[in-house]
Chains A and B, each alone.
Chain A
């Protein structure tokens, strides 16, 4: 029941969520409520597949994914910072736009409907000691301590957290609040691009309509569970990855697929309850 391959499939499930959740944590720390992670991930998936298909190189695909998702996150940045729009409305609308836009593009660019895959589409392939994992998986782990150091051991991180906690104070000390907020949203977009690339070119190589299937939302929950701390976020994402992998395993012993599909969402919700009961404070961020 519990063996190496369980952890391997948990890692595969975890990586895109971890990238998106780190993006969310970074935004949260700077006082930006970012729920458009789902859309950025999906745009990243599409960019990765398009880039890989047209250049024949999966790594150029990764670069295209990062550029596409970063550009896409400008919607939230411009809309909420420059125009003062409601970040929740912008987030929901940009997630829906991503679904519509990628479905539109899959038909105009690839001429197929629903999903695009081809035997000659280059994937990221295997890297390092763990079977079935790409270089991006290791990169996502490295991103956790890197972000933790940036946030808690570097002047940038100090200013960034200042912008999140006391924007007026930070502003009066000469910190450009707008610039920092733009910065975290765009950096978050880049991280989502990496997550999307892993999802579309990692263990499978394809693009399918709405293939992120709520992972960006799970990342939003992971940010809450992990209190927007990189290590906490890693643990929260790991919980979800394990739930998903365990679900697949249970399918093997005869549980219906629908039960195992629902498992990760239920596990996440229960984890949120428990963490709130433990804290006994009714107001999560």
Chain B
């Protein structure tokens, strides 16, 4: 339960700081926060929150997997869009019955994301480029490639926008009340992560590496191998999120559509907030998704820019990092 206590103080501090910012812009903080809550969970907003929570929770899980071992994957955006365009390519060009196409497209997304993230792991293991840097630097060319593909070879000829043609009716993931059925896939991934984390040697090795990397090395845990596996799992999950995004509404890839909503970065902050624990990450992701979608409602109600919620999320993590540091120092002295 100590984690809950550790989170409560930073959350309160971030809300206070947000209130000060709101007062500075001449807004009643309670009205603004009320608008966020009612906007996120009210009858009009709950659907938006859920729809937004699917990619955020998916990306949060993707980034939590290596974070559990203290490894930071900053290349989620590249893995996400690569998974998206790979799924798109299968959905557009592979012949066959619809359901087979959907399954193949999802697999293509997973494989592309996993392979690309594994490449970053190889950069650390074989070439000595720190993971933090290799994942991030590889992210940019992947985003550029996706941008190129939907502008030239995979462009929708009938449109002036940088977007692909729509997938045919059969090759789509259906929706239930505006929420993609991909939600079940994301929940399944989180369930698998939960079981592996709690009940398997691999999960234990990951956690030990996160707690005490040097102890893990002495205990004979093969760090390069673990890095490769965790990154492949991480990138595969990110690629799956990209595939789900393309196979669901609007059933096509639009350049920037997966980058602008900041799924990856909000997901990373959620994973950091939860210390990468599987269910905690899900909770944190839903919390941040609700904050973000509530931010739009707040903007409509009070004229306060929705970016306030992005500020709150980042401030919360900064306070949490400071609180964790103090907590660790006390633990060392005790």
- Residues of A that sit less than 8 Å from B by CB: 35, 75, 78-80, 83-86, 88-90, 92-94, 96-97, 99-101, 103-104, 107-108, 214, 217, 220-221, 224, 256, 258-259, 261-262, 265-266, 268-269, 272-273, 276-277, 281-284
Contacts and interface: CB of A to CB of B under 8 A. Distances in A.
A85 B281 CA distance: 20
Contact of A262 (B141, B272, B307): B141
A107 to B, nearest CB: 4
Q: Which 6 A-B pairs have the closest CB atoms?
A: A100-B310, A84-B325, A97-B314, A85-B321, A258-B148, A83-B322
Interface string B292-334: 0000000000000101101101110110111111101100000
B321 A276 contact: no
Interface residues on B, range: 35 or more
A221 B135 CA distance: 12
A265 to B, nearest CB: 4
B116 interface: no
B322 A78 contact: yes
B133 A83 contact: no
A96 B269 contact: yes
A272 B136 CA distance: 13
Contacts of A262: 140-141, 144-145
B72 A92 contact: yes
B322 A79 contact: yes
Contacts of A273: 123, 127, 129
Given A108-B25, A262-B141, A86 B324 contact: yes
Contacts of B129: 269, 272-273, 276, 284
Contacts of B21: 104
B314 A93 contact: yes
B325 A283 contact: no
B140 A214 contact: yes
14 contacts: A83-B321, A84-B326, A85-B325, A89-B321, A97-B311, A100-B307, A101-B311, A107-B305, A214-B136, A214-B140, A258-B144, A269-B138, A272-B133, A283-B128
A85 B152 CA distance: 46
A79 B318 contact: yes
B141 A104 contact: no
Nearest to A96: B314
B322 A268 contact: no
A111 to B, nearest CB: 10
Interface in B51-78: 72, 74
B305 A103 contact: yes
A96 B325 contact: no
Contacts of B315: 97
A79 B314 CA distance: 13
A88 B73 CA distance: 12
Contacts of A281: 128
B206 interface: no
A224 B134 CA distance: 12
B147 interface: yes
B193 interface: no
Nearest to A87: B321
B322 A217 contact: no
Contact of A220 (B127, B133, B314, B322): B133
A90 B318 contact: yes
A164 B191 CA distance: 44
B137 interface: yes
A256 B148 contact: yes
A283 B323 CA distance: 30
A147 B183 CA distance: 54
Given A83-B326, A276-B128, A265 B137 contact: yes
Contacts of B141: 262, 265-266
Given A104-B311, A108-B25, A258-B144, 12 more contacts: A94-B318, A96-B265, A96-B269, A104-B310, A108-B305, A256-B151, A258-B145, A265-B141, A266-B137, A269-B129, A282-B128, A284-B130
Contacts of A224: 130, 133
B11 interface: no
A103 B307 CA distance: 6
Nearest to A84: B325
Contacts of B272: 89, 92-93
Given A94-B318, A258-B145, A284-B129, A83 B325 contact: yes
Given A261-B140, A262-B144, A269-B134, A93 B318 contact: yes
Contacts of B321: 79, 83, 85-86, 89-90, 93
B268 interface: yes
A272 B307 CA distance: 36
Interface in B139-155: 140-141, 144-145, 147-148, 151-152
B82 to A, nearest CB: 13
A283 B145 CA distance: 31
A259 B318 contact: no
Contacts of B151: 256, 258
Given A79-B321, A265-B137, A276-B129, A92 B310 contact: no
Contacts of B130: 224, 284
A8 B245 CA distance: 42
A100 B324 CA distance: 23
Nearest to A97: B314
Nearest to B127: A273
Contacts of A88: 72, 132
A104 B322 contact: no
Contacts of B123: 269, 273
A234 B130 CA distance: 21
Nearest to A220: B133
